[in-house]
């Protein structure tokens, strides 16, 4: 049984992610303890909210250092994906810096926040997933594994580099395609 630790920094989609991983047979722990996070077999950085308060909460609990010191596979979900990058315009805050790039507003889109079901193209096959975000990453092409068209622009929505993976959408709310994405991550 694969062990997954969901990082609890006081915000996020913990219940729905926990349920999704448990349905896949994973042993799920939810922890805000830096020592437990540093020692975890697999990590998930969830996210709902804003980058500034999220980074403040991670730093206050020492979870930023635990994440940076870990060598475990790490999946960032929605805001959690954005926090993997160097900086966010949302609050003009330094993030974890595990991936090169910056998080920028999608102020060019017709509707913000971008919410609802959208295509995810790439990553080996197309999928339809559930999104809820107002910011998106600007990063180098070599880490982009999937994109979503939003009002004529292709936005990176799946990133991957070594042990790190991030998804802008909510796989736990994305029905069969989200389930398959989580299964692949658990099996990798």
Any idea which residues carry the catalytic annotation?
78, 170, 172
Residue-by-residue pLDDT tens, the chain, 188 positions: 799 999 999 877 899 999 999 999 999 999 999 999 999 999 999 988 899 999 999 999 999 999 999 999 999 999 999 999 999 999 999 999 999 999 999 999 999 999 999 999 987 678 999 999 999 999 999 999 999 999 999 999 999 999 999 999 999 999 999 999 999 999 99
Q: Which pLDDT value is given to residue 8? A: 97
Q: Domain range holding 49? A: 3-187
Q: Which pLDDT value is given to residue 54? A: 96
Burial profile 3-13: b = 16 or more Cβ within 10 angstroms, e = fewer: ebbbbbbebbb
Q: Which pLDDT value is given to residue 27? A: 98
Q: Which pLDDT value is given to residue 12? A: 73
- Residue 87, domain CATH: 3.40.50.880
Q: Which pLDDT value is given to residue 11? A: 77
Q: Which pLDDT value is given to residue 143? A: 96
Rounded Cα distance, 170 and 34, in Å: 25
Domain count, the chain: 1
Q: Which of 132, 142, 91, 138 is nearest to 112 (CA)?
A: 132
């Amino acid at each position: 049984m694969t062990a997954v630790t969901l990082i609890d920094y006081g915000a996020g989609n913990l219940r729905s992610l926990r349920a999704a991983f448990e349905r896949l047979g994973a042993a799920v722990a939810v922890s805000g303890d830096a020592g437990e996070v540093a020692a975890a077999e697999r990590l998930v950085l969830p996210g709902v909210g804003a980058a500034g308060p999220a980074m403040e909460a991670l730093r206050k609990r020492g979870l930023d250092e635990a994440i940076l010191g870990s060598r475990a596979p790490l999946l960032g979900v929605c805001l959690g994906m954005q926090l993997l990058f160097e900086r966010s315009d949302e609050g003009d805050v330094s993030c974890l810096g595990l991936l090169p790039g910056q998080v920028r507003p999608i102020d060019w889109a017709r509707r913000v926040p971008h919410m609802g079901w959208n295509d995810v193209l790439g990553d080996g096959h197309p999928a339809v997933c559930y999104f809820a975000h107002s910011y998106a990453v600007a990063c180098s092409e070599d880490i982009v594994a999937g994109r979503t068209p939003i009002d004529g622009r292709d936005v990176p929505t799946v990133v991957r580099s070594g042990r790190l993976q991030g998804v802008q959408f909510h796989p736990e709310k994305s029905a069969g395609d989200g389930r398959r994405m989580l299964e692949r991550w658990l099996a990798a």
